[in-house]
Amino acid sequence: MSISEQIQNAPAWWSDAVVYQIYPRSFADSNGDGIGDLGGIRSKLGHLQDLGVDVVWLSPIYASPQADNGYDISDYQAIDPLFGTLEEFDALLADMHSRGIKLVMDLVVNHTSDEHAWFVESAASRTSPKRDWYIWRDGYQGREPNLWRSAFSGPAWSKAPLGISGSTGSTSAEFDDDQYYLHLFAAKQPDLNWENPEVRSAVYEMMNWWLDRGVDGFRMDVINFIAKVQEDLVGDSESAAMGPQIHEYLQEMNARVFAGRDADLITVGEMPGVTVEDAKLFTGADRLELDMVFQFEHVGLDHGDSKFTNLKLDLVDLKRSLSRWQTGLAESGWNSLYLGNHDQPRSVSRFGNDGDYRIEAATLLATILHLHRGTPYIYQGDEIGMTNAGFTAIEQYNDIESVNWFAESIAAGDEPDVLLESLRFRSRDNARTPVQWDTSENAGFTSGTPWIGVNPNSTEINVETDRAAGDRSVFEHYKRLIALRHSSAVVALGDFELLEPEHPTLYAFTRSLGSETLLIVGNFSNDRMDAPLLDSSEARNAPVLLSNYAEAAAGATELRPWEVRVLQLH
C-alpha cells in the first residue's frame, strides 16, 4: 500500500470521538436572568473536560426572536444578547480549544427567522431583488399552494403583509395579493430557496466566516429539507419530499466551504426520514458530502398515527433498526449514535426505567449505545441520568411544537387530560428543563427565575450528588465509556454483529477487530434474567471490561435488572 493509500484508508479522527450537546438556554445561567448563556458554559468546561468528551455541539446562539428557541435566526453572524457577545464567544472557543475540546456550531439554513433582513426584503414586494431568496407561490384554487403541513401545526404556507416583516405585522394590513411563503416549521421560520445560487453563496460565505473564526464544524439542522421538489410546490402534494438536488447542494457546499481546509472538521446532517441507502450516499467518504447523519428511524418506531402517541419500547424493533444501520454503513459511510437530544424525551424515561432502576437503566443505555460502531452523542444531563419533566399543566410548557399541538387538538375536540398525558411522554420540553447541577434552589442553574421549570427531582438527581456517588455514579460510568472508546480500536472500529435478535429483553452483540472480540449483553427489564449465551466456557472466563453493578459477577449467566456487561471474549 502506498502512503497516500494508507492515509486515505486511515480512520477519520472522529471515529473514536464522543460529542456532547449543549442546549444553551438550559445549561447554565451566569447572570441571573434565568436563561443559560455563554458565561454559564464557560464556567462548566471543567465538567466537560472531566467527562472526557472531544467535541461540543452547541445548539443555536445566534441573534433570534426565539420563536423556536434560536432555531429561527435573524442574524447568522451575531450572538443573541440573551447568550452573550461575540467577544465572549471567542473567549469560550479559546477556552475550549485550550482544554482540547472542539466546538461544532448548529447550522440552521433550511429557514431563517421572518425577522432576518433577507426575509424582510423578500417580503417587501414582488419585485424585491431578494424575492426569490424564499419560496413564494400564488394560491391554488383559492387555498394554499399545496397541502403541506407545518411541523408545528397548521398549513406550511402563510401570507406576509406587504412591506411588513412577516408574521410580526398586523393581519389587517394589506396583503401581497395571493402570494404565500413556505415554512415547513413555524410561520416565523420561512424556508430559504436553495434553488437560488445567491442564497447558496450567502450561506457558504457565512459558514466560511465561522470556520475562519476557528469553529470545528457544523451540525446541520434538517439539512435534507433544503432541496424541494419544485413540481410538488403547487397542487395536491401532501408531504414534503427530499429533492434529488440535495446531493449536488452538499457537494457544492463541501467544495466551497470545507475543501482545502486542513483543520480536523466534523459535519453531521440532521435528516428526518433518511434511509440507510440515502445515508450511504450522504456519508460515503469518496462522495464528499457529510461525515455522518442523524437518522430518525429508531426514535420513530413508537409513533402511531399521531406523533404524540405514548411511547412504548419494543426492544426487538429497536435492535432490528439499529443493527440494520450498523450493517448498512459497515463498509462505507458512518453512523452517529444517539438516544436523546433537545427534540426527544429523556432517554432513561423513554427507553429505560426512571424509577427504582434509574441508575442501572441510564448506565445500561449508555453502554449499549457507546459500544455500537459510530460517533456517540451525549445530550446534556444524560451523563447524570436526568429524567422527563413530569409537567402536569399546559402552562408549564414552552415548546412551540407542544403548545401549538395542544391548542390545535383542543380545538378539534380532544380531551385535555389525554393530551397532557401524551405531552408527558413526548414533549420536547422533557429534555429542555435546566441541567441539575446541585441540591440548591433551582438546581444551581440560575440565581434568578428559570425560564422553564426545574425538575422537582433535582434535590436527588444532580451533578454534585451523582459525582459523589462512587460506584453508583452515572457520570463515572460515562467517563469509563468515553475512555474505553479512546483506548480501544475494537470499540471504535470493530465489526458489529447482533445476537438473539428476537429476544424480547436481551440486547446482545459482539464487536470484532482482528483477533479481538467483545461481547456486550444487557437486560432491558426490571426482572432477573438468565442469559444462556453467557454459559460458554469462553464467556465464563472472559474478563469483564465494564459493568454497571458494583460486584461484577464475572462468570454468572444471570443478569440482574438493567444489568449490562462488556466482556473481553478474546
Q: State which amino acid sits at residue 499.
A: L
68 binds, among Ca ion, ligand GLC, none (CB under 5 to 8 A by kind): ligand GLC
221 binds, among Ca ion, ligand GLC, none (CB under 5 to 8 A by kind): ligand GLC
Q: Which is nearer to ligand GLC, 221 or 360 (CB)?
A: 221
DSSP, collapsed to helix, strand or coil, labels residue 439 as coil
Q: Which is nearer to Ca ion, 27 or 308 (CB)?
A: 27
**DSSP labels, 199-243:** HHHHHHHHHHHHHHHT--EEEETTGGGGS--GGGGSSS--SPPPP
Cell 402517541 identifies what position?
Answer: 309
- Which residue number places its CB atom closest to ligand GLC? 71
Q: How far is the CB of 273 from ligand GLC (least distance, A)?
A: 12
Q: How far is the CB of 43 from Ca ion (least distance, A)?
A: 11
Query: Binding of ligand GLC at residue 476 (CB under 6 A)?
Result: no
Q: Which 8-state DSSP code applies to residue 344? A: S
d(CA 547, CA 477): 9
Q: List binders of ligand GLC among 143-202 (CB under 6 A).
A: 185
Cell 447554565 identifies what position?
Answer: 28
Q: Locate 483 and state its grid cell.
A: 475512555
Burial tier of 3 (Cβ tally within 10 Å: 0-12, 13-18, 19+): exposed
Q: How far is the CB of 445 from Ca ion (least distance, A)?
A: 10
Phi, psi of 273 (to 5 degrees): 85, 0
Q: Locate 406 and state its grid cell.
A: 395542544
Q: Which of 16, 29, 54, 68 binds ligand GLC (CB under 6 A)?
A: 68
b/e burial code for range 33-42 (CB count within 10 A of at least 16 → b): ebbbbbbbbb
Q: Which of 221, 289, 291, 360 is catalytic?
A: 221
270 assigned to active site: yes
271 binds, among Ca ion, ligand GLC, none (CB under 5 to 8 A by kind): none
Q: Which is nearer to Ca ion, 35 or 223 (CB)?
A: 35
29 binds, among ligand GLC, Ca ion, none (CB under 5 to 8 A by kind): Ca ion
- Which one, of 34, 7, 11, lies nearest residue 398 by Cα? 34
Burial tier of 260 (Cβ tally within 10 Å: 0-12, 13-18, 19+): exposed
Q: How far is the CB of 29 from Ca ion (least distance, A)?
A: 4
Contacts of 390 (CB under 8 A, 6+ apart): 424, 455, 456, 457
Q: How far is the CB of 399 from ligand GLC (least distance, A)?
A: 9
Query: Binding of Ca ion at residue 80 (CB under 5 A)?
Result: no
Q: List binders of Ca ion among 17-36 (CB under 5 A).
A: 29, 31, 33, 35
Query: Binding of Ca ion at residue 447 (CB under 5 A)?
Result: no
One symbol per residue from 304 to 343: x for binding ligand GLC (CB under 6 A), - otherwise; what is it? Answer: --------------------------------------xx
Q: Which is nearer to ligand GLC, 109 or 361 (CB)?
A: 109
Strand partners, 564: 522
37 binds, among Ca ion, ligand GLC, none (CB under 5 to 8 A by kind): Ca ion
Contacts of 67 (CB under 8 A, 6+ apart): 113, 186, 188, 189, 400
Interface size with ligand GLC, residues (CB under 6 A): 9
One symbol per residue from 268 to 307: x for binding ligand GLC (CB under 6 A), - otherwise; what is it? Answer: --x-------------------------------------
Q: How far is the CB of 566 from ligand GLC (least distance, A)?
A: 31
Q: What angle do CA 320, 309, 458 make, to 5 degrees?
A: 90
CB 78 within 8 A of CB 62: yes
Contacts of 512 (CB under 8 A, 6+ apart): 490, 494, 495, 497, 518
33 binds, among ligand GLC, Ca ion, none (CB under 5 to 8 A by kind): Ca ion
Contacts of 143 (CB under 8 A, 6+ apart): none
278 assigned to active site: no
Q: Which of 54, 270, 343, 466 is catalytic?
A: 270
Q: Which is nearer to Ca ion, 392 or 449 (CB)?
A: 449
Q: Which of 19, 135, 222, 482 binds ligand GLC (CB under 6 A)?
A: 222
**Sites of contact with ligand GLC (CB under 6 A):** 68, 71, 108, 185, 221-222, 270, 342-343
**Sites of contact with Ca ion (CB under 5 A):** 29, 31, 33, 35, 37
Instruction: Name the residues annotated as catalytic.
Output: 221, 270
